[in-house]
Amino acid sequence: MTFKQDFLWGGATAANQLEGAFDVAGKGLSVADAMPGGKSRMQILGSDTFDWSIDADKYVYPNHKGIDHYHRFKEDIALFAEMGFKCYRFSIAWSRIFPMGDETKANEAGLAFYEQVIDECLKYGIEPVITISHYEMPLNLAKAYGGWKNREIVGFYENFAKAVLTRFHTKVKYWMTFNEINSAIALPALSQGMVATTGGEQQQNIFQAWHHQFVASSLAVKIGHELNPDLQIGCMIIYATTYSYDSNPVNQVATMLQNQAFNYFCADVQVRGEYPAYTQKLFKEKGVSPLAIEDGDLALLKAYPVDYVGFSYYMSAVQNVTDKDADTVDGNILGGVKNPFLEASDWGWQIDPTGLRIALNDLHGRYQVPLFIVENGLGAYDKVEADGTINDDYRIDYLAKHIQAMSDAVEDGVELMGYTPWGCIDLVSASTGEMSKRYGFIYVDLDDNIEGTGNRSKKKSFEWYKKVIATKGEDL
Ligand code: BG6
């Protein structure tokens, strides 16, 4: 048996992408509520004029309704239990707890909702795994405060983290402070609540915002461990195994620098509790001046590092600085050069299970702390047959190969806590706002305009994943 007895098999979601009920029970607007649906979502957010205005005449806002998990969570969690989930990763919508973000008193209706979700998981013996902040800061903090580049946000996040950790620390052991914190390099809107009109495209602001997030993350670890030293509080990064285009040492160096700038920088600070040795060089390259760091910040980072590294893994990337004519491939933030040895998804994400084994060995070798794969999966168009079945063999194939790579890495000696494939139930895509980019074992009958019955049905992968969990990853 490769995977340990208490391995956390499960699935992952984020509040803004499935709950809907965006204005129910005192919830305020979040940045995700201001993101239009459709393939041009990232272009709109990245434009010079985007200022977080919501224009319902011009755009569809799929996150407003999501898959209505807010009202159907019992049905959804029952299906997770049927698959045999040992854990369920979800996030808490900050704007349900602090609707404007800057209040001092938490919204009891928001806390009560998550208490019900947690209790429903525990009823089935499913361990909740909570992301405190997953691309959904209160819109007011982005609009009126300019997002994470503003130091005041640290105190607001501290209030939020304190409210949820205090309320749930006896029921929830596993936490993560920020989703894909390093994605800000390409997605400052989602990750840091910053857009061009509030300086979001400036590297100086992105790095300053990161410093604030690092401090906030350490404060959450401090609060959590003071409440209960057994809590496991992790960071969460997006990791893309990065290959050199060829054996030209120039491309090898470019790969090394890209790893530092993208895969390592945030986790280096959050795991080791200090800025890495290459920080000054990185700042120089990016044109970043010394950051505003307050007294006590660095000591706090050192005293309260994270307990484990959570990461998402979808694809690998290729680093090339020598061949201007190299073929390229689309893909959300990692696009770039085409790898002739790999296939790509319908959205251009290059599929690379072997890259996951490399990722696991790399991260474990670098940090020597337990790892948790908290996102992985294939976004694909699914077809409902006339008899209602959905034969998603392509998804089974993707996941089986990635689980095999995990197994190989565990045999290599990597300490792996668990595996939560992304979007275990179909939900709204983060990068495109589409429903038709589906990841789930459970199909949800809704289109890109969030029209349809909303009914849930089991895909072929549902029974397959159930068998994988039952056999502890032995029968793929
Ligand atoms: C990760 C995010 O980047 O990838 C999720 O943490 C997201 O929020 C997932 O949904 C898949 O990306 P997408 O754009 O296909 O939804």
347-363 tens-digit pLDDT: 889 999 999 999 999 99
Q: Is residue 2 part of a domain?
A: no
Q: How far does the centroid of ligand 1 lie from the alpha carbon of residue 237, in Å?
A: 12
Contacts of 22 (CB under 8 A, 6+ apart): 29, 30, 33, 63, 64, 65, 66
Q: Is residue 451 part of a domain?
A: yes
228, 339 contact by CB (below 8 A): no
174-227 tens-digit pLDDT: 999 999 999 999 889 999 999 999 998 899 999 999 999 999 999 999 999 999
Tokens, residue 52? 């977080």
Band of residue 332 on the pLDDT scale cut at 50, 70, 90:
low
Is residue 329 scored above 90 in pLDDT? Answer: no
Q: Is residue 32 part of a domain?
A: yes
CATH number at residue 220: 3.20.20.80
Is residue 336 scored above 90 in pLDDT? Answer: no
Q: Rounded to whole angstroms, how far apart are CA atoms 309 and 237? A: 8
Q: How far does the centroid of ligand 1 lie from the alpha carbon of residue 164, in Å?
A: 24
286-322 tens-digit pLDDT: 999 999 999 999 999 999 999 999 999 999 999 999 9
Q: Is residue 3 part of a domain?
A: no
Q: How far does the centroid of ligand 1 lie from the alpha carbon of residue 81, in Å?
A: 23
Q: Is residue 408 part of a domain?
A: yes
Sign of torsion over alpha carbons 178, 180, 184, 190? negative
pLDDT score for 331? 65
Domain residue limits at 17: 8-470
Q: Rounded to whole angstroms, how far apart are CA atoms 437 and 67? A: 14
Instruction: Please provide the average confidence, as pLDDT, over all residues in the chain.
Output: 97
Q: Is residue 397 part of a domain?
A: yes
Q: Is residue 206 part of a domain?
A: yes
Please pick, among 19, 180, 375, 434, the residue that the annotation labels catalytic: 375
Q: Is residue 1 part of a domain?
A: no
Residue 294 annotated among the catalytic residues of the structure: no
419-454 tens-digit pLDDT: 999 999 999 999 999 999 999 999 999 999 999 999
Q: Which atom of ligand 1 sits closest to the CA of residue 423?
A: 10
pLDDT score for 333? 62
Question: By three-state DSSP, how is residue 240 classified?
Answer: coil
Cα torsion 112, 80, 312, 93 to 10°: value is -20
322, 245 contact by CB (below 8 A): yes
Band of residue 1 on the pLDDT scale cut at 50, 70, 90:
confident
pTM of the model: 0.98
Q: Rounded to whole angstroms, how far apart are CA atoms 375 and 134? A: 12
Q: What ipTM score was computed for the predicted complex, to two decimals?
A: 0.99
Total count of domains within the chain: 1
